[in-house]
Amino acid sequence: MFNYRYFLQCNISLLKSIRLINNCSKQSSAFPYLPTNKLPSKPNRKKGITEIRGPYYFPVTQTYLDELLQDWGEYVDGIKFAGGSFSLMPENRLRGLIDIAHKHNCYVSTGGYIERVLASSAGNKQIIKQYLKTCKDLGFDVLEISSGFLSLPADDWTELVKLVLSYDLKAKPEVGIQWGAGGDASIEELENAGTRDPKWLIDRAKRFLDAGAYMIMIESEGITENVKSWRTDVISSITSNLPQDKIMFEAADPEVFAYHIQNSGAHANLFIDHSQIVQLACLRKGIWGTDKTFGRIVTFQD
């Protein structure tokens, strides 16, 4: 017999849980009377996106990630596994990390591990498809497509973007000017490898966006990382030729993300380390900074 009272109690409990989660995400600061920059809110934020590095240089456990996002989740949009670290984890623990990210309205990115899959399989389409299916089944949302170490024809790269989309994953190609980017090479090694013309980067980014890529990741090596002097001319070319809401700069260094905020504003899309969330949030909100940014980062809202 249908127990209506039990059914009602279960639904009331569920509604209370949903309301509690919503209230937690919308809790205001203890200092609402102090003005700060107004920024778009999650989960529908389309600009000012912050993606953080997950496990790689340091382990990121389920407990750590859950507590980190309880406190600072409003300032984090996505979590990226760097260096293929997810492939080393027990499946149940990996699923647990992904579930925690989703609980806090954060997307989860594979990082550029497909580069390793392409190289080890000699571009075997069946293996690539199996990899994409596994990523989708595990709960990944974004698949980054990088080729810093590989020479991949533009046509093949574009087809790979379309293949990723066919598995209901968001394609996020990573492009840069530095050959051999993505590892831990020295400045001298990268200088010897050489760089590409910024037009090469911009042309491919436009092509990938036309193919359906939702975002372009800009590799920092050769621009602001492992260089003797920053290539600000390249940054200027990128921001002048590509839509701001469709590009994300690697900026896992406080001086680098401060530069991007100073020059592109609080709505710049940035990839940082998980240890830098608070510092970047303070900068976006305009409450703190260095002598170059203190009190100078502002937004305008109707």
Residue-range definition of the domain harbouring residue 164: 43-181+190-285
Six token digits for residue 19: 């309301």
Query: What was the pLDDT predicted at 182?
Result: 59
Indicate whether 149 belongs to any domain.
Answer: yes
Name the residue type at position 201: L
Asked whether residue 243 is domain-assigned, the answer is yes
Rg (CA), the chain: 21
CATH of the domain at 166: 3.20.20.70
Residue 170 forms part of a structural domain: yes
**213 touches 172 (CB < 8 A):** yes
pLDDT at 185: 62
Kindly report whether the global pTM for this prediction surpasses the value 0.75: yes
Q: Specify the residue for token string 């498809």.
A: 129
Tokens linked to 119: 């190289």
**Would 299 be classed as within a structural domain?**
no
Q: What is the pLDDT along the chain (302 residues), one digit of tens a residue?
A: 445 454 445 444 444 444 444 444 456 789 999 999 999 999 889 999 999 999 999 999 999 999 999 999 999 999 999 999 999 999 999 999 999 999 999 999 999 999 999 999 999 999 999 999 999 999 999 999 987 778 889 999 999 999 999 999 999 999 999 876 555 666 676 666 678 899 999 999 999 999 999 999 999 999 999 899 999 999 999 999 999 999 999 999 999 999 999 999 999 999 999 999 999 999 999 999 998 999 999 999 74
- Has residue 18 been placed in a domain? no
Report yes or no on 250 lying in a domain.
Answer: yes
Buried b or exposed e, range 155-181, using 16+ CB within 10 angstroms = eebbebbebbbebebbbbbbbbbbbbb
Match 């994409």 to its residue by tokens. Answer: 132
171 touches 206 (CB < 8 A): no
Q: Is residue 295 part of a domain?
A: no
Residue closest to 25 by CA, chosen among 61, 65, 75, 59: 75
Q: What is the pLDDT of residue 191?
A: 65
Tell me phi and psi for residue 249, to 5 degrees. -95, 135
Q: Is residue 48 part of a domain?
A: yes
**Is the separation of the CB atoms in 221 and 189 below 8 Å?**
no
Number of domains in the chain: 1
Instruction: Using DSSP bridges, classify how beta strands 216-218 and 170-175 pair: parallel, antiparallel or unpaired.
Output: parallel
